[in-house]
Amino acid sequence: MSEVNKKFGIVTHWGQLDTTSFHVDGEYIMDEGDEALEKGEDVEEERITNHIRITHGYSRDNRDDLKQVNLALMCEGLHGMPIFMKTLSGNSNDTKVFQEILKGFKKNLTLPEGLEGFVMDAAGFSTSNVEFLLSEEIPFVIRA
């Protein structure tokens, strides 16, 4: 991020974080842990494998029959240039994902070219996320 910013003279102060889902078609082989994830049980994915799961999850299209994958994307606030992307399993919980991403970006907040704060939608509004942001003194804006 900082090399691109330097090259184009972009000063990034705020990261706007959101997730979206994509439905997929076709047959997919399920492996260990997928059945628990399908049922919505709380399973640590990294404990099982290091890949995302194409699975059923919350569908904005009201199409519970379709499997999906999710994508977390953070763009810098002024120009909308993507600065972070992470693929996620189809039933990922935005609230948990946001906190993991924020913890990962915490080290960048101290750099001169790093982020000063974050903008998130209502998925970022949880007790644990707000407590983390306040305890780390990270500026944030969340639509509640």
Closest-CA residue to 87 (of 71, 111, 74, 102): 71
pLDDT tens-digit readout, 116-141: 888 998 888 889 889 988 998 888 99
The pTM for the full model equals 0.72
Tell me what percent of the residues of the chain surpass a pLDDT of 70.
76
Angle between helix axes 127-135 and 94-105 (nearest 10 degrees) is: 10
Average pLDDT, the chain: 77
Asked if residue 59 has pLDDT above 60, the reply is yes
Asked if residue 108 has pLDDT above 70, the reply is no
For residue 48, name the pLDDT band (cuts at 50, 70, 90). Answer: very low
For residues 93-121, average pLDDT: 76
Structural domain spans, the chain: 2-142
Residue 144: both structure tokens together: 């509640």
For residues 32-59, average pLDDT: 62
Give the least confident one: 20-29, 95-104, 122-131: 20-29
